[in-house]
Amino acid sequence: MKLNFNAGPAALPWEVLETASRSILEYKDSGMSILSLPHRGPHFKDILDDARKHVLQLLGLSGEEYAVMWFQGGGRLQFEMIPMNFLPDGATAAYIDSGRWAADAMSNAGRYGKVHISASSREDDYKQVPTAWNIPEDAAYLHLTANNTIYGTQSFTFPDTDVPVIADFSSELFSRKLDYSRFAMIYAVAQKNIGPSGTTLVIARKDFIQQTVRELPEILSYKAMAEKNSLVNTAPVFSIYVSSLYLGWMAAKGMDAIEQESIAKSQLLYHYIDQSSLYYTVAAPDSRSRMNVCCRLRREELTDALVAFAAERGILGIGGHRNIGGLRISIYNAISLQDTEQLLAVLKEFEQMHA
């Protein structure tokens, strides 16, 4: 198997792939493939229950207070659903603009109410995460993006406010210990650090999602999706199933071990890049992402050659975002420290060839 350092769809643990592959032929003793499993049958109910248990355990949240939901439509649907559900006509929503996806989320809110930019690092080319916030007390909610895959930045401090905070944790959820109870709602697309593409995980305070501000179709209502256990329509059974397997893999490993490995992987790469004569990072040191290590080559004309050189050695997905260029090395939970060391050896070999 080649090593997948793509930002998404990202690598999955080998044990998860093995179990999922067997289930394509037959899921447990059902006599059916997981691909044909009824979404309202007892087997899928068990899958949903297992996934919910693992999510709450990993995040340290109570099932009495928080609902776990699975949606289709990716992050872009969440960008639209959030103001649709929680921003009254004429009211104000606050957004922290820390990168491309944060700005995209913010652009949807104007269809429903007013938008207040509480902080932005746009003028600094998103090289850092803003940490000075101006949050209106009457804001319906504050939205932030915790990790910015394109720019390689990550939030390490969060606003302390009475305004409900909604956070996009798409590219880093389950990578570190936080007090997740400080958030009214968090969401994450699966294809980065949860499972395969096709579903999006939402965890929300039950009292918060009761506050839907307008009448909506059930498929666009957090309240309805929570009440119907994510089964307003046919759920993406296979994506949720593989995500549940991955969540179980992470729960068995434990958040302490996952976080320590995440720190070790990112520090290994940043330490090398900082002393390199060929590579350099752009993100501010206090905003460097542990999930997406973004860097550039001082001789930019060598970038494509490096990507091809790495691919020949079984290292895939290290090219930067198409709008930014450079390199982007995504070290999600399925990427081990040994995998990272293997990548590092390739980076060193290439640098030595072009010294």
Question: What amino acid positions are annotated as catalytic residues?
Answer: 101, 168, 192
Which residue from 222, 221, 255 is spatially nearest to 60, judged by alpha carbons?
255
For residues 145 and 106, give the distance between their C-alpha atoms in angstroms, rounded to a whole number: 11
Coil/strand/helix, residue 244: helix
Q: For residue 1, give the amino acid letter.
A: M
Could you report how far apart the first and last alpha carbons of the chain are, in Å? 30
Amino acid at 233: N
CA atoms 179, 10, 250, 64: torsion sign: positive
Q: Which residues contact 306 (CB under 8 A, 6 or more apart)?
A: 297, 318, 327, 347, 350
CA-to-CA distance for 166 and 145, rounded, in angstroms?
9
Question: At which residue do the structure tokens 């104007």 appear?
Answer: 110
Q: Mapping DSSP to helix (H, G, I), strand (E, B) and coil, where does residue 109 land?
A: helix
Element at 97 (helix H, strand E): strand 92-97
The position carrying tokens 């949720």 is 240
Helices (H), the chain: 14-25, 42-59, 74-86, 100-109, 190-193, 206-209, 222-227, 237-253, 255-275, 303-312, 337-353
- Report the b/e string of 114-146 with b at 16+ CB within 10 A: bbbebbbbeeeebebbbeebebeeebbbbbbbb
CA dist 292 and 314 (Å) reads: 19
